[in-house]
């Protein structure tokens, strides 16, 4: 018997990656919704969508978010609506309808002052408006009493949408040399890997008797800086572009970034059926996919 699952954020990186891996999980009947069906910027849109349902979903995956980190500094109200208030509304609906609610959050809920991987129990202290809005969403979900999970991740990239890897490839084709920040450290996350982990976690959650929500961390394995990531992109893709390491102070942005946001995956690793791939391995798969797309 398949279980109907609503996936929000149909057209985003993660939403498209969930569509890519969906066939591997025949247990689920995934219903992908974009902003045309359910707009997280509108409380009325959310209410109307669920009021019209003939039967509740077994699970809800929220892969939608306001992710414009720098713009969030000047659009704080909008960021909070999508990342906090909408999440609170969805969590309330999930509790009322008995749906398992899986919500994707961010490593940016942390200050970046640590010197070891962050665990789920570590103190949160976001350094920008985006991180604060995502933390607000986490707190709202946990306070709602719904069954579910929060999955923090970071540095997400894929063959879809706009992301660091595609930006590097574009710039690398235009320039002979680039300067990339070397003092921000984390772990890249290949969106299809994250998508598969979410569906495994959803299966575990639906079968669990736990009545509260849990927090998990997921990224690929390994640690690197943005500079290291860029070097690997060009090395593995064969693009002849030199990369120079620069300090964050030389590349000022409206929003501050955490200098260290490596996540400990010890908790979620126990629930996954396969080892988490290293970021370089997954980067190679992504670059191969992008090349195949160009050649097709």
Q: Where are the alpha helices (DSSP H) in the chain?
A: 13-21, 43-51, 76-80, 86-97, 129-144, 164-172, 191-207, 226-237, 266-269, 279-295
Q: What is the pTM of this model?
A: 0.96
What percent of the chain stands above pLDDT 90? 94
**Catalytic annotation, pick one of 130, 157, 216, 218:** 130
Give residue-wise pLDDT tens across range 154-168: 999 999 999 999 999
Instruction: For residue range 13-47, list pLDDT tens digits in order.
Output: 999 999 999 999 999 999 999 999 999 999 999 99
> On the CB side of 290, how many CA atoms lie within 13 Å of its CA?
23
Beta bridge partners of 31: 6
Residue-averaged pLDDT of the chain: 96
pLDDT in the model for residue 295? 62
Q: Which residues contact 262 (CB under 8 A, 6 or more apart)?
A: 114, 116, 117, 118, 185, 186, 187, 219, 223
Encode pLDDT of 44-100 as tens digits: 999 999 999 999 999 999 999 999 999 999 999 999 999 999 999 999 999 999 999
Enumerate domains of the chain plus CATH numbers. Answer: 3-162+187-221+261-277 (3.40.50.720)
Measured at the alpha carbon of residue 152, what is the angle toward residues 18 and 261, in degrees to the nearest 5? 125
Mind giving me the DSSP string for 214-274? EEEE---BS-EEHHHHHHHHHHHHT---EEEEE-GGGS--SS---SB--B--HHHHTT-SS
Judged by DSSP in three states, 153 sits in strand
Is 260 part of the annotated catalytic residue set?
Answer: no
Amino acid 234: pLDDT: 97
Rounded-to-10 torsion of CA 134, 140, 143, 145: -110
Closest to 2 (Cα-Cα) out of 247, 279, 199, 210:
199
Q: What is the pLDDT of residues 126-147, one digit of tens each?
A: 999 999 999 999 999 999 999 9
């Amino acid at each position: 018997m398949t279980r109907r699952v609503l996936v929000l954020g149909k057209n985003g990186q993660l939403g498209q990656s969930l569509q890519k891996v969906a066939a591997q999980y025949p247990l689920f009947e995934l219903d992908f919704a974009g902003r045309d069906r359910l707009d997280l910027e509108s409380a009325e849109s959310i209410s109307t969508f669920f009021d019209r349902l003939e039967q509740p979903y077994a699970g809800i995956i929220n892969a939608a978010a306001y992710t414009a980190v720098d713009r969030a500094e000047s659009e704080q109200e909008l960021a909070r609506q999508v990342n906090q208030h909408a999440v609170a509304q969805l969590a309330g609906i999930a509790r009322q309808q008995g749906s398992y609610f899986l919500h994707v959050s961010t490593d940016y809920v942390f200050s970046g002052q640590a010197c070891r991987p962050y665990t789920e129990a570590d103190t949160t202290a976001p350094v920008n408006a985006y991180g604060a809005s995502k933390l607000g969403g986490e707190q709202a979900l946990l306070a709602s009493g719904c069954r579910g999970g929060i999955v923090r991740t970071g540095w997400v990239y894929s063959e879809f949408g706009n992301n660091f890897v595609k930006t590097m490839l574009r710039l690398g084709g235009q320039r002979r040399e680039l300067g990339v920040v070397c003092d921000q450290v984390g772990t890249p996350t290949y969106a299809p890997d994250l998508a598969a982990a979410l569906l495994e976690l959803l299966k575990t959650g639906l079968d669990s008797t736990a009545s509260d929500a849990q927090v998990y961390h997921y990224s690929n394995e390994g640690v690197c800086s943005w500079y290291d990531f860029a070097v690997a992109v060009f090395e593995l893709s064969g693009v002849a572009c030199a990369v120079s390491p620069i300090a964050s102070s030389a590349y000022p942005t409206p929003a501050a970034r955490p200098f260290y946001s490596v996540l400990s995956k010890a908790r979620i690793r126990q629930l996954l059926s396969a080892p988490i791939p290293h970021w370089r391995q997954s980067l190679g798969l992504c670059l191969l996919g992008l090349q195949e797309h160009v050649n097709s």
